[in-house]
Amino acid sequence: MDFIELAKHRYSSRKYRAKAVETEKLKIVLEAGRIAPSANNQQPWIFVVIKEENLENLQACYPRDWFRSAPMAIVLCADHSKSWKRKDGKDHADIDVAIAADHMTLAATSINLATCWICNFDKEKLIKTINLPRQYEPVVILSLGYPEDEPNLERHDTKRKELVEIVYYETLKPL
């Protein structure tokens, strides 16, 4: 599969089979996050894997029926004490964590697993659920598992903007 094909196969799966994710496959997904690039190589992240006794508590942080079908999830947290800040103060932690998450979703896709980004969670509840020290911020929960649903591989034709709407060359002003 070339890159565009892989990226099109990645989709937000909201229905999972009960089958557990093998440890070897989980390691591949985590490794994809580990090797992601980050601003000044600060790697300002931790990845919290939840698949056993804390799974129900995690599901309560994002109470949707579909999320209960996920056999596991990874919570990606930003470490604001480590992230690179530009001279004007911009903190790059969220960008770095998003790149790690994207690496993970694509790695999962490449081994026939599916994911869904979840950011609409109850933040304070999640902090308590995973016992997260205050220097960290939970940025995204990634559900992970074998999908019961399938991607619509044509959706990018209608559900994404056209390049002409979003790409500019050299400047936004007419040259």
Binding residues for ligand FMN (CB under 6 A): 11-12, 116-120
Q: How far is the CB of 28 from ligand FMN (least distance, A)?
A: 20
The encoded tokens of residue 172 equal: 């936004």
The encoded tokens of residue 165 equal: 């709407």
Q: Which is nearer to ligand FMN, 163 or 172 (CB)?
A: 163
Q: How far is the CB of 116 from ligand FMN (least distance, A)?
A: 6
Q: Which is nearer to ligand FMN, 11 or 136 (CB)?
A: 11
Residue closest to ligand FMN, measured at CB: 120
Q: How far is the CB of 122 from ligand FMN (least distance, A)?
A: 11
Q: Which is nearer to ligand FMN, 120 or 171 (CB)?
A: 120
Backbone angles phi, psi at 70, to 5 degrees: -75, 125
* Four-residue CA torsion sign, 39, 112, 110, 25: positive
Residues of 104-124 as b/e, b for ≥16 C-beta within 10 angstroms?
A: bbbbbbeeebbbbbbeebeee
